[in-house]
Amino acid sequence: MAKPEIDSVTGVETTGHEWDGIKELNKPLPKWWLWVLYASIIWSVAYWIAMPSWPLIADYTRGVLGYSQRTVVAKSLEDARAAQSRFLDRIAAADLAGIKADPELLQFSLAGGAAAFGDNCAPCHGRGAQGAIGYPNLNDDVWLWGGTLDDIHKTLNVGIRSGHPDTRDNAMPAFGRDQILEPAQISDVTDYVLSLSGGEANAEAAARGKEIFAEQCAACHGEDGKGNIELGSPNLTDGLWLYGGSRNEIADSIRNSRAGVMPAWEGRLSPETIKQLAVFVHSLGGGQ
Amino acid sequence: MRARTEPDEFMAVTATQHTGRTASEAAPGVEQLDVAAVNAPETRSLYAAREKVYAKRAYGTYRTIKWIVMAVTLGIYYLLPWLRWDRGPYLADQAVLIDFPNRRFFFFFLEIWPQEFYFVTGLLILAALALFLVTALAGRVWCGYTCPQTVWTDLMIAVERFWQGDRNARMRLDKAPWSFNKVWRKTATHVTWLAISVATGGAFVFYFRDAPTLMGEFLSFDAPAIAYIFVGIFAATTYLLGGIAREQVCIYMCPWPRIQGAMFDHYSLLVSYRTWRGEPRGAHKKGESWDGRGDCIDCKQCVAVCPTGIDIRDGAQLECIQCALCIDACNSIMDRIGRPRGLIDYDTIDNLEVASEGKTSTLKLLRPRVLLYVGLILLVSLIMLVALLNRTVLEVNILRDRNPLFVELSDGSIRNGYTVKILNKLHKPGRFHVGIEGMKDATVKIVGFEKEKNPVISVLPDDLRALRVFVTVPRKNLETAKSGVTDFEFTVTDLNNDSTVRNDTTFRSPGR
């Protein structure tokens, strides 16, 4: 080793490292700093003993304090549930209109309902409940099975064609597939249905279609085509279409029928959560 | 790529690089090895033991200033949480309170909500700029007078001096064998330090909770655990850093001396030894002429009073916190030997350079960096002042739904959803009407108030209420909005004083 170079100004040796003519002085570290290092080493050994630390082949050392982040998470979830219970107990006891009328419970249900909606409903109905072709938009005022708090609550509980014993269910005939109507008749009915909501339609064909409609469709959709919430049959006059409102899409619906499915949430979500969801969906703007 | 070197030349080059010199011979044919014993005297220890600094008491102007600064800063720190400020029956009456559970920061007349944190940012920027400015003008004034480390160290040294005497007595006591006298003096010192430390930690937590309440909880031992933890942390750090570590913090732990060294220039007033006047130094006999020698009599008083234990006569150095106690010490000596004061004094590097030639340079206070800092301070202050004057006690935020952008209803009309947040910064309950203007035939519905027309919305004092509001407009009214955007405004009327806040927003509809 070369003899350390002594800096002429300070009389201190240099490390020999030089940057642009500036040399680093080799200043000794204060001794207490070394003691801090030793203290840290002792601390780390104590930590290994006290806390979970070393990985083993199938397990890890648990530490004598028995700390585990899983139990911490479980505890904080339990605490959160306990903190919510004062609202949830009241929601369980209250009826839906009562929840809506109580500002505190409404606020809680809107937040809780939004979270439950995001977890359970958004995959089909969309993040903003805006729906998609075949999946209803829950923001508007169009309801197949009714838009009151109780209607929405029941739909949530029993689902649609869900297999639940009380499920909401109906069946529209597949007029084309089952050869109930001729293709030409289906075309005429399509024109009539288009005309109901003020769409572009052939007047002559619509007149022919009107007769077929009265015969085949009015039983469910009503004489005037305004549908029937009791039967879950859609209003055909409002210009809002669950399966699309183009000529082809309407004809396709008549030909092959439509039968959407929604699961029953009873038993899958807690009654309080379903109540919150009902209030949330009702408050999206279209509730009746 | 470097050009290829001839083999011989290449060898020589590597040898030089390796040892730093060309190989030499001890005798013809005997190579002298470049090796040294590992325990040679030149091999210094890697670790330096701390040399204890026994700071002597100084008397003079700067010592007085430091006592005053200490009294003011510690007084503010310990007493401020106890100052009351009337905010009415609904809010805390503590003048300075950081209220984490309710997410409010109270500072006298100011009240800062989380979304107004820019006021704190502004204050921090002002503090940083003020630090730069004062450093540019007079060096490490912060370090020397107001830094908590300096203030508490100064206090701890005063306590030590009270129980153990001044420098010489303390040095004697440390060297003396353990005796009853030594034990009680040392114990009294540490007990006083610990008492100060606990009070320091105690004062800190009072800023976060109503001070009299928390004090009562402390006395009945039912304060929150976090309060005890923070008292413990602050007591421990005060005792360790102020009582034990002292100058070690400034020299080894603090990054600020490294930064601050780059913030003053040739024209900053720094605590300096006037070499041109003091040298050559040496002891002075009574009646001896002062001609041909310096004013410094090498009494080392300046070293003895220094809290970091350095010699200012060695020039500017990192360890110097510029507390100016050496000026006091030297001045009192100069008075006694009948020489003019100011052998050590605040002076500029520029002046020191020309002083040996008998010239003086003028003090340049208005330098570009000083003007820059002053300008920036004024600018930030102005921005903050304008923001403060424009701060409203009623604030309304409108968030328009983006998903869905708009909803078509069965009768063809279009509906938009909004979240209207009413921030009632008044210290009493608020009652409001929410309405819209600039949208013909529109109907407004507020979730939770569907059945009421023009409902009264109540908001708790100093609180926020978020409302879901739906605006529905017939389609025929939107046919002119080709882009699908119609501007209108929300109005929130405070029924307590009939003032109205207006917020612009837009209504979205399918474009044409």
Statement: residue A95 has pLDDT above 50: yes
Q: How far apart are CA B284 and CA B299, in angstroms?
A: 10
Q: Residue B407 and residue A283: Cβ atoms within 8 Å? A: no
Q: Which two tokens stand for residue B428?
A: 């009493």
**What pLDDT shows up at residue B36?**
66
Q: How far apart are CA B163 and CA B81, in angstroms?
A: 30
- Amino acid identity of residue A171, one-letter, is A
Q: How far apart are CA B254 and CA B148, in angstroms?
A: 12
Statement: residue B431 has pLDDT above 60: yes
Q: How far apart are CA A275 and CA A112, in angstroms?
A: 10
Statement: residue B19 has pLDDT above 60: no
| Whether the Cβ atoms of residue B96 and residue B120 lie closer than 8 Å to each other | no
Statement: residue B411 has pLDDT above 60: yes
The 10 Å Cβ neighbour count of residue B257 is: 17
CB-based contacts of A28: which residues, under 8 Å, 6+ apart?
A: B44, B45, B46, B47, B48
**B415 to chain A: which residues are within 8 Å by CB?**
139-140, 285
**Sequence ranges of chain B with CATH classification 2.60.40.10:** 394-508
Q: Residue B44 and residue A28: Cβ atoms within 8 Å? A: yes
ipTM: 0.80
Nearest chain B alpha carbon to A238? B410
Q: Residue A128 and residue B19: Cβ atoms within 8 Å? A: no
Q: In this predicted model, what pLDDT tens digit does every residue of A193-219 receive, in sequence order?
A: 999 988 888 899 999 999 999 999 999
Partners of residue B272 on adjacent β-strands: B345
Least confident among A211-220, B48-57, B74-83? B48-57
Q: How far is CA B359 from the centre of its chain?
A: 39
DSSP string, B196-253: HHHHHHHHHHHTTS-HHHHHHHHHTT-S-HHHHHHHHHHHHHIIIIIIIITHHIIIII
Closest Cα of chain A to B70: distance in Å? 29
Among the partner residues B45, B402, B408, nearest to A28 by beta-carbon distance: B45
Q: Which CATH architecture has domain A84-166+262-282?
A: Orthogonal Bundle (1.10)
Statement: residue B4 has pLDDT above 70: no
Q: How far apart are CA B107 and CA B96, in angstroms?
A: 5
Q: How far apart are CA A129 and CA A88, in angstroms?
A: 24
Q: How far is CA B435 from the centre of its chain?
A: 46
Domain borders along chain A are 84-166+262-282, 183-256
Q: How far apart are CA A137 and CA A204, in angstroms?
A: 34
CB-based contacts of A197: which residues, under 8 Å, 6+ apart?
A: A236, A237, A238, A239, A245
| Whether the Cβ atoms of residue B304 and residue B310 lie closer than 8 Å to each other | no
Within chain A, residue ranges assigned H as helices are: 31-50, 69-93, 96-101, 103-120, 122-125, 149-158, 183-196, 203-216, 218-221, 247-256, 271-282
Residue matched to tokens 């007595």: B169
Going by C-alpha positions, the residue among B176, B221, B186, B225 that lies closest to residue B205 is B225
Q: Where is mean pLDDT largest: A144-158, B28-42, B451-465?
A: A144-158
The residue-averaged pLDDT of B197-215 equals 91
Half-sphere exposure of B311 (CA within 13 A, CB side): 7
Q: How far apart are CA A254 and CA A246, in angstroms?
A: 13
Q: In which band, very low, low, confident or very high, does the pLDDT at B14 lie, cut at 50, 70 and 90?
A: very low
Q: How far apart are CA A179 and CA A173, in angstroms?
A: 10
Statement: residue B17 has pLDDT above 80: no
DSSP string, A2-39: PPPPBPTTT--BEEEEEETTEEEE-PPEEHHHHHHHHH
Q: Which two tokens stand for residue B490?
A: 């929300």
Statement: residue B40 has pLDDT above 70: no
Q: Residue B36 and residue A137: Cβ atoms within 8 Å? A: no
Percent of chain B with pLDDT over 90: 51
- Cα separation values, B299 from A104, B53, B280, B332, Å: 78, 17, 13, 12
Nearest chain A alpha carbon to B37? A1
Q: How far apart are CA B206 and CA B96, in angstroms?
A: 9
**What pLDDT shows up at residue B91?**
84
DSSP B456: P
**What pLDDT shows up at residue B23?**
57
Q: Which two tokens stand for residue B127?
A: 């503090």
Q: How far apart are CA A198 and CA A240, in angstroms?
A: 12
Interface of B with A in 238-257 (CB under 8 A): 245, 248, 252
Q: Residue B49 and residue A238: Cβ atoms within 8 Å? A: no
Nearest chain A alpha carbon to B43? A4
**Could you give the dihedral angle defined by the CA atoms of residues B203, B207, B208 and B210, in that order, rounded to the nearest 10 degrees?**
90
Q: Which two tokens stand for residue B483?
A: 């882009």
**Could you give the dihedral angle defined by the CA atoms of residues A247, A251, A252 and A254, in that order, rounded to the nearest 10 degrees?**
150
Q: How far apart are CA B372 and CA B137, in angstroms?
A: 12
The residue-averaged pLDDT of B276-298 equals 86
Q: How many CB pairs under 8 A join A and B?
A: 89
Opening angle at CA A65, ends A63 and A71, nearest 5: 95
DSSP string, B466-494: EEEEEEEE-GGGGTT-TTSEEEEEEEEEE
Q: How far apart are CA B501 and CA B392, in angstroms?
A: 10
Domain A183-256's class? mainly alpha
- Amino acid identity of residue B392, one-letter, is T
The residue-averaged pLDDT of B99-117 equals 87
Going by C-alpha positions, the residue among A145, A143, A125, A144 that lies closest to residue A135 is A125
Q: Which CATH architecture has domain B394-508?
A: Sandwich (2.60)
Is B30 an 8 Å CB contact of chain A? no
Partners of residue B435 on adjacent β-strands: B491
Angle between helices B148-164 and B180-206 (to 10 degrees): 150
DSSP SS3 for B39: coil
| Whether the Cβ atoms of residue B433 and residue B469 lie closer than 8 Å to each other | no
Least confident among A175-179, A198-202, B53-57? A198-202
Q: In this predicted model, what pLDDT tens digit does every residue of B413-425 receive, in sequence order?
A: 999 999 999 988 8
Q: How far apart are CA B81 and CA B97, in angstroms?
A: 7
CB-based contacts of B186: which residues, under 8 Å, 6+ apart?
A: B164, B173
**For the stretch B425-454, what's the b/e string if a residue is b when 16 or more beta carbons lie within 10 angstroms of its beta carbon?**
bbeeebebebebeebeebebbbbbbeeeee
DSSP A59: S
B391 vs B57, more confident: B57
Is A33 an 8 Å CB contact of chain B? yes
In degrees and rounded to multiples of 5, residue B130 shows phi and psi of -65, -35
Chain A interface, mutation test: which of B447, B465, B467, most A Cβ atoms within 10 Å? B447
Going by C-alpha positions, the residue among B455, B439, B443, B453 that lies closest to residue B495 is B455
Closest Cα of chain A to B442: distance in Å? 15
DSSP B55: P
The residue-averaged pLDDT of A17-29 equals 85
Q: How far apart are CA B31 and CA B13, in angstroms?
A: 18
| Whether the Cβ atoms of residue B282 and residue B292 lie closer than 8 Å to each other | no
**What pLDDT shows up at residue B2?**
42
**A284 to chain B: which residues are within 8 Å by CB?**
417
Q: In this predicted model, what pLDDT tens digit does every residue of A219-277 receive, in sequence order?
A: 999 999 999 999 999 999 988 899 999 999 999 999 999 999 999 999 999 999 999 99
Least confident among A171-180, B105-114, B149-158, B167-176? B105-114
Q: How far apart are CA A217 and CA A223, in angstroms?
A: 8
Partners of residue A132 on adjacent β-strands: A135
Going by C-alpha positions, the residue among B194, B227, B200, B229 that lies closest to residue B213 is B227
Residue matched to tokens 């999946």: A135
Q: How far is CA B115 from the centre of its chain?
A: 22
Going by C-alpha positions, the residue among B457, B481, B458, B461 that lies closest to residue B469 is B457
